[in-house]
Structure 1
Amino acid sequence: MRIPAFRAVALSALALSVVATAGCARRGGNAADTPYVARDVGTLYSAAKTRLDRGQYKEAAALFDEVERQHPYSIWARRAQLMGSFSYYLDGDYTKAIQGSQRFLSVHPGNRDAPYAYYLVALSYYEQISDVTRDQKITQQALDALGELQRRYPNTRYASDARLKVDLVRDHLAGKEMEIGRFYERRGQWLAASMRFRQVVDQYQTTTHAPEALMRLTETYLALGLREEAKKSAAVLGANYPGTDWYARAYKLAGEYPVLPPQAQPALVPQTVAPPQAKPSKTPAPITNPTTAPAPPANATPPVVPGPNPAPATTPPTPTPTN
């Protein structure tokens, strides 16, 4: 009689543990998880598309993922994979949008919808660009992704939009360098400031920050006692941007400061007032190095410091995957 009694106790304990485990799973599980209900691929895909059209992007993404999970070898799975990434993008979940697009490219690198997947990756990084006072790692990743799209598919409509966004991203990165350079300049760390301004001139010379960078270089070189270098910066500024207030300021500084050793130079007070300037309608030509500088305009006024130009939000077209 002891053996049956022991078995009964063991079975009771096993049943209680199963019930307790199920209860914990219900309490600790994700309430947003889609329950597994076997459905045909057409019904699942249609339900996901309906949610997408209604603006229920999170539910649509979950259903598109369910298409891929339940019918991984159907043609609908490939379509659902890209549509799921698009749904995550519209929902603002850019990390999942990037992961889904990259997974699509790893499985279907030669698919005709691959350009759109690269475009979706680039846009997901682009939408996360923050202002110039914060770290710009995401901005660099956006620039790399946009460049990859242009390199692989230069003749697509997505590459045309990427070229415009590359100019905006480069302008944003230049703005970050200018922000750091102005910070060093306010603290009197002239060498560190000049290195940042020089980087803008060398790497981002077609951006809207190039004129200010040349004027700031004139300031920092004069503060360091490098009068010849300051004259060269002012000459380059005058040759490329002769009618700007930045050149008027640089020309005035170059005439006011005599040739003195760094410790004897009068203190420079950098311009810090910052109402924003309007962007030019087209990308400026690359900077050239002249031999002489033209005179400043007669009615020149002190320059202003342009503020950061926030990146505009972009909504990509709805993908239309094909077989």
Structure 2
Amino acid sequence: MSPNRLYAEAKDEMNSSQWDKAIPLLEKLEARAAGTPLAQQAQVDKAYAYYKSAEPAQALATLDRFIKLNPASPALDYAIYLKGIINFNDDLGVLSSITRQDLAERDQKAAKESYEAFKELVTRFPDSKYTPDARQRMNYIVGSLAQYEVYVARYYYKRGAYLAAINRAQIAVTDYRDVPAVEEALFILYKSYDALGMEQLRDDTKRVMEKTFPQSDYLLKGGKPNTDPWWKIW
């Protein structure tokens, strides 16, 4: 088949969600049309097909190769955006799935890599049609990462590991500002310092909290960190 015919066949399979049939056709097209815009399109489509067939590692490897080899491609913004999307949907940690796995055992690698991809897109291609969505997803990821640190801090606080709780709550406060999770992070700091008898730090944290969140229910009602399993919040 000619390259154009191969691509038409591959697109038909993709339109029918026959990803396992589309991938080998795209691989043939990539080899047969090497060095042409059609080969570049085949690479990007192959990455998407891998993603839709639940093979994110293959999809990301394909995109990394495409981005490295085609720095001037008109599809570069889409490739970077797709890289962010794949990681975004792969594992956002606290929001990825409803399981009974302890939050402290999870990690946010995929969410952070997703954020970096979207950040690259926004920086390099501010006028791309994919940039507005990327910005929204970046905001969501920041909130998710901050909330993750709070859940881990809460996990440690419940178990009396106050130093560990302090360390994780401080990450939320210092690395992720202007997100709702900071309120509880400060309260966990306050309670953990109190539990350790660190009065000066406790009082300093309380003053910061009173200034930043004057109507906080944690202070007004004498609340305590939510120690329910994280999956119960939904």
With the shorter chain as reference, the TM-score category is 0.7 to 0.9
What residue in structure 1 maps to residue 149 of structure 2?
A: 177
- Return the alpha-carbon distance in structure 2 between the equivalents of residues 110 and 71 of structure 1: 18
Q: Which of 145, 155, 159 matches 2:117? A: 145
- Partner in structure 2 of residue 84 of structure 1: 46
Q: Give the superposition deviation at 1:229.
A: 2.2
CA RMSD of aligned residues (A): 2.3
Asked whether the 8 Å contact 2:190–2:206 carries over to 1, the reply is yes
Q: Structure 2 vs 1, CA of residues 58 and 275 (structure 1 numbering), >3 Å: closer, same or farther?
A: closer
Judged with a 3 Å threshold, the aligned counterparts in structure 2 of structure 1 residues 273 and 80 are, in CA distance, closer, same or farther, namely: closer
Alpha-carbon deviation of 1:270? 5.1
- Distance, in Å, in 2 between the alignment partners of 1:188 and 1:204 is 24
Separation in 2 of the partners of 1:122 and 1:140? 10
1:109 positional shift: 0.4
Query: Could you state the TM-score of these two structures normalised by the residue count of structure 1?
Result: 0.63
1:121 Cα deviation after fit: 0.9
Q: For residues 45 and 275 of structure 1, do their structure 2 counterparts lie closer, same or farther at Cα, with a shift above 3 Å needed?
A: closer
Instruction: Give 1:169 deviation, angstroms.
Output: 1.5
Q: Contact 2:93 / 2:111 at 8 angstroms: preserved in 1?
A: no
Residue 275 to residue 242, structure 1, CA distance change in 2 (3 Å): farther
Q: Which residue of structure 1 aligns with residue 203 of structure 2?
A: 231
Find the aligned partners of 1:164 and 1:55 in 2 and give their Cα distance.
Answer: 28
Identical residues among aligned pairs (%): 27
Alpha carbons of structure 1 residues 239 and 51: separation in structure 2 relative to 1, 3 Å: same
Cα distance in 2 between the residues matched to 1:148 and 1:271: 36
Give the corresponding residue for 1:202: 174
Q: CA deviation at 1:221?
A: 1.4
Distance 1:271 1:118 in 2: 38
Rounded to whole Å, the distance in 2 between the matches of 1:245 and 1:86 is 46
- Name the CA distance, whole Å, in 1 between partners of 2:91 and 2:13: 28
Q: Which runs of 4+ in 1 moved over 6 A?
A: none
Whole-angstrom distance in 1 between the partners of 2:74 and 2:148: 37
Deviation for aligned residue 1:232: 2.5
Letter of the structure 1 residue corresponding to residue 20 of structure 2: K
Three-state SS of the structure 1 residue aligned to 2:91 is coil
Once the two structures are TM-superposed, the CA of residue 125 in structure 1 deviates from its matched residue by: 1.0
